[in-house]
């Protein structure tokens, strides 16, 4: 090959496989940021920050007092595991009145934070919390590096009260089921814990109806309104069950039902207001949105601010299931469905193996969607642990290619449901 041809080939290859951007850390919710709001809008946000800071002090003081009484300086980590696996929600109704369910319920109550929530990645079938034991397991990332978006402000206080990984909402559903199955007296502590948990959700809700990933606020991307992994959707579903006051939730008071119903409506309003307008067109949602601007923001290093297909599919399914949707909901659903149709990828398959993820041609394959689409271009994008953003899956590290789902099929269920309701 002639030198000029080699040079041309190298230039074209570099242009095709270049890093196209870098994620920027999302800002925390702070008083300085609230001060930039119009004067009429500041009061509820400042009150929210006051409430969060007071609760953080209360939570930390509670554990500190236990440690002091025990004569130790460091809390024992909670047992790690999966709440979803250790808290069964699919057993026959009679199981929830039995000894195994009551034992797990007692463990759940013991790990409830003073604020009323629960941490994530907890084994809730191991043992009741002991004095001086942390409310959270070790949730630190194994890949932390300087400037990592996942670095907590305090490594000893991380995800203490969260909606991430179905935390808090799973515990609440389980407690409601057990409380409804056992007797009035025996179920009293489970009902009390449940009510505290619902009050936690109400206290954590932002003035505009969204929820942060972690509350009391931890800072960084944890302060963002979090659609990732269905966090907000699950909170709304639990609160909707309370508002209805039927079945497992019939024991809830009229006041709690009223407050839950109001929270659900605020959350729906927030969802509709957060739908991204891209180049003048209503589209879908990001995984995380800034609590004040409602614009999409990054989360972990490899999760860029983008249009997100998977979480948006969950949001649209929720909106389509609303019993009495108004015109705003209909408009939001129609726009999202149009976007799913526009961005669908035909004739390709996505697979993951020890050597990473692969995206290959396959005629006739079911439709796929990239997990992330770039704002402004709608081309698929892929993030890496060094915060770089790429337009080709093969460019990112093997660890991230194999450790994350980059293409999804979830929007197909939305298209099917949408077609069937017409």
For residues 394 and 13, the answer to whether their CB atoms sit within 8 Å is no
Dist CA 277 CA 341 (whole Å): 17
Active site (annotated) includes residue 165 = yes
From the list 231, 232, 252, 229, the residue with the least C-alpha distance to 241 is 252
**Centroid of chain to Cα 134:** 22
SS3 (DSSP) at 286: coil
Phi, psi at 32, each rounded to 5°: -60, -40
For residues 152 and 140, the answer to whether their CB atoms sit within 8 Å is yes
User: Is the peptide bond preceding residue 173 cis, with omega within 30 degrees of 0?
Assistant: no
For residues 75 and 132, the answer to whether their CB atoms sit within 8 Å is yes
Bridge partners of 389, per DSSP, are 21, 383
Active site (annotated) includes residue 385 = no
- Choose the catalytic residue: 121, 123, 139, 165: 165
- Choose the catalytic residue: 129, 177, 191, 300: 300
Residue given tokens 């003035």 in the structure block: 207
Dist CA 249 CA 252 (whole Å): 6
For residues 178 and 105, the answer to whether their CB atoms sit within 8 Å is yes
Dist CA 202 CA 215 (whole Å): 11
SS3 of the chain: helix, strand, coil, percent, to 5 = 50, 10, 40
The DSSP string of 327-365 is: HHHHHHHHHHHHHHHHH-B-SEEEEEETTEEEEEE-TTP
Which residue stretches of 17-161 are H helix? Answer: 31-34, 39-70, 83-86, 99-110
Q: How many other C-beta atoms can be found within 10 angstroms of the C-beta atom of residue 297?
A: 25
Bridge partners of 281, per DSSP, are 278
The set of long-range contacts for 148-151, using a CB threshold of 8 Å and a minimum separation of 24, is 148/301, 148/385, 149/23, 149/25, 149/26, 149/220, 149/221, 149/298, 149/299, 149/300, 149/301, 149/387, 150/300, 150/301
For residues 318 and 233, the answer to whether their CB atoms sit within 8 Å is yes
Active site residues: 165, 300
């Amino acid at each position: 090959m002639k030198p000029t041809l080699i040079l041309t080939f190298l230039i074209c290859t570099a242009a095709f496989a270049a890093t196209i951007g870098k994620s920027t850390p999302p800002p925390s919710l702070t008083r300085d940021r609230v001060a930039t709001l119009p004067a009429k809008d500041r009061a509820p946000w400042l009150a929210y920050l006051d409430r969060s800071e007071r609760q953080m002090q209360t939570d930390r003081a509670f554990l500190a007092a236990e440690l002091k009484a025990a004569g130790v300086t460091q809390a024992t980590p909670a047992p790690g595991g999966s709440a979803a696996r250790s808290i069964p929600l699919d057993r026959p109704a009679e199981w929830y009145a039995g000894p195994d369910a009551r034992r797990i319920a007692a463990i759940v109550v013991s790990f409830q934070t003073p604020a009323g929530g629960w941490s994530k990645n907890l084994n809730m079938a191991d043992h009741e919390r002991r004095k001086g034991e942390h409310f959270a397991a070790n949730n630190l990332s194994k890949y932390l590096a300087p400037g990592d978006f996942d670095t907590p402000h305090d490594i000893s206080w991380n995800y203490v009260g969260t909606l991430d990984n179905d935390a808090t909402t799973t515990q609440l559903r389980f407690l409601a089921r057990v409380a409804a199955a056992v007797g009035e007296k025996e179920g009293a502590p489970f009902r009390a814990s449940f009510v505290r948990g619902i009050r936690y959700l109400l206290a954590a809700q932002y003035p505009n109806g969204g929820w942060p990933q972690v509350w009391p606020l931890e800072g960084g991307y944890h302060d963002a309104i979090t659609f990732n992994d269905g966090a907000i959707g699950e909170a709304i579903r639990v609160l909707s069950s309370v508002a209805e006051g039927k079945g497992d939730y019939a024991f809830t008071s009229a006041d709690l039902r009223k407050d839950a119903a109001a929270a659900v409506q605020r959350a729906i309003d927030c969802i509709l207001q957060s739908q991204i307008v891209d180049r003048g067109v209503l589209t879908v949602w990001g995984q995380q949105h800034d609590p004040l601007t409602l614009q999409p923001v990054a989360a972990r290093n490899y999760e860029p601010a983008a249009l997100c297909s998977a979480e948006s599919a969950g949001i649209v399914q929720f909106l389509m299931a609303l019993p009495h949707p108004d015109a705003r909901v209909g408009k939001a659903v129609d726009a999202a469905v149009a976007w799913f149709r526009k961005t669908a990828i035909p004739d390709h398959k996505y697979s993951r193996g020890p050597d990473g993820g692969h995206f290959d041609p396959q005629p006739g394959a079911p439709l796929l969607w990239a997990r992330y689409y770039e704002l402004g271009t709608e081309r698929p994008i892929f993030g890496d642990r060094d915060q770089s953003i790429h337009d080709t899956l093969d460019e990112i590290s093997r660890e991230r290619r194999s450790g994350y789902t980059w293409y999804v099929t979830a929007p197909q269920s939305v298209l099917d449901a949408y077609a069937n309701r017409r």
